[in-house]
Chains A and B, each alone.
Chain A
């Protein structure tokens, strides 16, 4: 890569003190996202994907301890004053959360919330901000946008609320959008529409996106690169086609295999992953996936594998016994 990436997460670790002891939610994670690119972050509940997004946004719980560096657009976010951070968030760094009902203010109209953002960050006057709000609502596919400005979140359906949340996130032309499970609360036909909307607006604005999801189906067709997280660590990271076709990490393989496939015959038994993820307050000495891994042997239980390069520097995996690249496919 010739220029510095837009976002670079360097050796980020997040520790949360809990009554049961220290919980390492994010464990030495490195990631980069170039301008206009999409990174998918995939993992199951508790793998640390949401804490990672909070670390990028500097929206961690007060008790959380963060180490490492988050570089965004040439600035170290950990060094910024709260005032500067607030200016940055919403302006060039935007976010869409899973549940639009809790991310929108229930006692303010849609219009107030949109116009407030525009006035705060772009210093538009009331008339210009109102005009721009109507355009934005229309752009995210909300019918009768003038009337919608007057309505409250509870008057809209879940899909419409998420469109409003996206309109607010896009309102200041951000350089990076963090979408944390943006469609998980929505029905499948609405999910497709929202993902299409995000992809379209992203192309139009040349915006970068971090798409956080538990659904491998969501990242497959809509990201350039995918990072798979397990127990707080990135265990595999690769350009999207390589991740699905030439995965090296057994967890990635197992996760994909465990998905019911729409083209499989009914009653096909699923290759389930036995057991469950480790307790994050009781970290394992070896590879976190080793108790569930069918390839695990000696070293896996005593030592943590670092990220190693596969056939290209863009493809990294953390495993002592990686899956061999398919014969005839890899160079």
Chain B
């Protein structure tokens, strides 16, 4: 696979002022509004937020599966938003996606061997023996026995095994970057741990960079070097995982952390302040979008959109009245 020489020390992914909107009737859903973020080579960036905050849309817009309204997505120095047709298709061999529902993302009528080989065919690997070798290698890597698996259909596998197959399919082209969109949310606790461990192993083995999207903060923390918190289409806070969880600067991050049910009977759940529900992304609040649920909100929060600014080394917050 041909690769352009690239600035090896720059971020692998540089998302700049990205805007994604969906028309709904004669209204517009502001799914992603002016989001900027960088992911370094070999890094895992966790992206957390509640349903409808735009985290999946952001992941898809990065891969150009949903074309943004404006903004740039630089992957290895090249602007994906300016690419079309063949150029984009070639670039897509270097980026992959893993979805939440592993069973729904496998074609029920095709055999596992064909499903995993499909990206190779699209990428133009013509030699069947070579394809078989690559498929067998990647299936073994994700913990499946190729001899037992390739001839079978998706319904013969459990959710956890289907997710292993999806991961194998994503890895078969040896990509550099994978967007994992809620990859373990549909799995039971005992299976979830297996898949999280597998993703970590694969990341090391294939030298991957990951954008890990999830709503579960504990899951995100366990795999991420840095975490970005999203609310109603905007980034609230970005920072190194441990620092962000120890000292959240955005009131929304603090609320999310406080709301996690702890598996420890000595931690009595704090009676949460009734903070209501997120407003509609069709008509998001002016200024700071979290202000309608925020205990610290004042006039400035409804007048001015807070910009991301540094509050601690590596930690950025978009809040007029941060906690630190």
**Which A residues contact B (CB, under 8 angstroms)?**
44-45, 141, 157-160, 187-193, 195-196, 214-218, 220-222, 240-241, 243-245, 254-256, 258-262, 264-274, 276, 292
Q: Among residues 213 to 251 in chain B, which have CB atoms less than 8 Å away from a CB atom of chain A? A: 215-219, 221-225, 241-242, 245
Tell me the minimal C-beta distance from A199 to chain B in angstroms: 8
| Chain A positions within 8 Å of B189 at CB level | 44, 214, 216, 255, 258-259
Given contacts A191-B261, A262-B221, A270-B193, 20 further A-B contacts (CB under 8 A): A188-B256, A189-B50, A190-B277, A192-B258, A217-B263, A220-B263, A221-B268, A221-B269, A222-B269, A258-B190, A260-B193, A260-B216, A260-B218, A262-B217, A262-B262, A266-B221, A268-B222, A271-B193, A272-B197, A276-B191
What separation, in Å, do the CA atoms of A258 and B264 have in the docked complex? 14
Tell me the minimal C-beta distance from B170 to chain A in angstroms: 20
Beta-carbon nearest neighbor of B258 in chain A: A192
Q: Of A160, A244, A272, which contacts B263 at CB under 8 A? A: A244
What band does the interface of chain B fall in when counting residues whose beta carbon is under 8 Å from A? 35 or more
Query: B2 near A: Cβ within 8 Å?
Result: no
Q: Of B51, B158, B219, which contacts A260 at CB under 8 A? A: B219
B190, A254: Cβ atoms closer than 8 Å: yes
Beta-carbon nearest neighbor of A261 in chain B: B218
What separation, in Å, do the CA atoms of A225 and B188 have in the docked complex? 22
CB-CB under 8 A for A262 and B277, given A193-B272, A217-B263: no
Query: B113 near A: Cβ within 8 Å?
Result: no
Query: B24 near A: Cβ within 8 Å?
Result: no
What separation, in Å, do the CA atoms of A217 and B216 have in the docked complex? 12
A266, B222: Cβ atoms closer than 8 Å: yes
CB-CB under 8 A for A272 and B193, given A193-B272, A217-B260, A266-B222: yes
CB-CB under 8 A for A260 and B222, given A217-B260, A220-B262, A270-B197: yes
Q: Of A188, A221, A243, A292, which contacts B259 at CB under 8 A? A: A188
| Chain A positions within 8 Å of B274 at CB level | 141, 193
Query: B200 near A: Cβ within 8 Å?
Result: yes
Interface string of B180-222 (1 = CB under 8 A from A): 0000000011111110110010000000000000011111011
B193, A188: Cβ atoms closer than 8 Å: no
Beta-carbon nearest neighbor of B195 in chain A: A272
A274, B263: Cβ atoms closer than 8 Å: no
